[in-house]
Amino acid sequence: MIRFDVITLFPEIFDAITRHGITGRAIDRGLAQLVAHNLRDYAHDSYKTIDDRPYGGGPGMVMMPGPLTQAVDAVRLRQSQAGLSPGPVILLSPWGKPINQALIDRVVAGPCWTMVCGRYEGVDQRFIDREVDELWSLGDFVLSGGEIAAMAVLDAAIRKIPGALGDAQSAQQESFANPELLDWPHYTRPETFNGLAVPDVLLSGHHERISDWRRQAAQEATLKFRPDLLDKSSHSKKSPKK
């Protein structure tokens, strides 16, 4: 089982992961555990204050280091009490490295992770310097907070845990399971829809021909929609200069 602890201002958002779909079923079966911690529970005053104005001026508010540090300390204690070595602390931030399949595969290796969801203009740098192990980003754009990025990581990781999917081959055949190629096109009933027919080879029952078609179709889809993946592959396979 992999344990995920998420520190957030909006723990109810993560009901989408714990109560629905593949991730909800995996958690129900004990393949993963997700604990969402409300950052305001670690505030120092009766107003549950977790942010303040930035030194030096400027717009917006900054998340204070005190409540964040106390929340991380509490999570580490709970992980230890559960018999686990405290996991890495991840801050979801525009500064972070892009989330990709290789990173998700690391997450699946477990056994526990702590994710901090930033909000407002940012997080006090002293918390990042002292408590955060890695920064991860969903992409080169700005979200209102780190919750959506954390949910993306959780969904991608939990569905890769052995036993989470009904068919174990599903995860192996998806886009980015092979980092060089997208998945092939998929078709289902009816055989003809609005004048468009399912490719004959998929109706043939000839497994070798179907496999060849899928391989070629995946290459064509990658060339059309994500040629950068093929460029990365060709660069990685070049021999180093001597």
We report the CATH number of the domain holding residue 36 as 3.40.1280.10
The verdict on 39 and 124 lying in the same domain is: yes
Amino acid at 147: E
Note down the domain range covering 201.
175-237
Q: What would the mean pLDDT of 69-78 be, rounded to a whole number?
A: 98
Structural domain includes residue 48: yes
Q: Which range, 48-62, 166-180, 224-238, has the best average confidence (pLDDT)? A: 48-62
Structural domain includes residue 6: yes
Q: Given a cut of 60, is residue 169 above it in pLDDT? A: no
Q: What is the pLDDT of residue 231?
A: 80
In degrees and rounded to multiples of 5, residue 3 shows phi and psi of -105, 135
Structural domain includes residue 187: yes
Residue 202 belongs to a domain with what CATH number?
1.10.1270.20
In sign, the C-alpha dihedral spanning 53, 56, 62, 65 is negative
Q: What would the mean pLDDT of 38-58 be, rounded to a whole number?
A: 95
Q: Name the percent of the chain lying above pLDDT 90.
A: 86
Q: What would the mean pLDDT of 6-34 be, rounded to a whole number?
A: 97
Q: What is the pLDDT of residues 176-230, one digit of tens each?
A: 556 679 999 999 999 999 999 999 999 999 999 999 999 999 999 999 999 998 8
Q: What is the pLDDT of residues 116-140, one digit of tens each?
A: 999 999 999 999 999 999 999 999 9
The verdict on 44 and 139 lying in the same domain is: yes
DSSP 3-state assignment of 26? helix
The verdict on 126 and 191 lying in the same domain is: no
The verdict on 29 and 146 lying in the same domain is: yes
Structural domain includes residue 57: yes
How far is Cα 198 from Cα 169, in angstroms, rounded to an integer? 23
- Structural domains in the chain (count): 2
Q: Given a cut of 70, is residue 238 above it in pLDDT? A: no
Q: What is the pLDDT of residue 242?
A: 41
DSSP 3-state assignment of 90? strand
Q: What is the pLDDT of residue 168?
A: 56
Q: Given a cut of 70, is residue 58 above it in pLDDT? A: yes
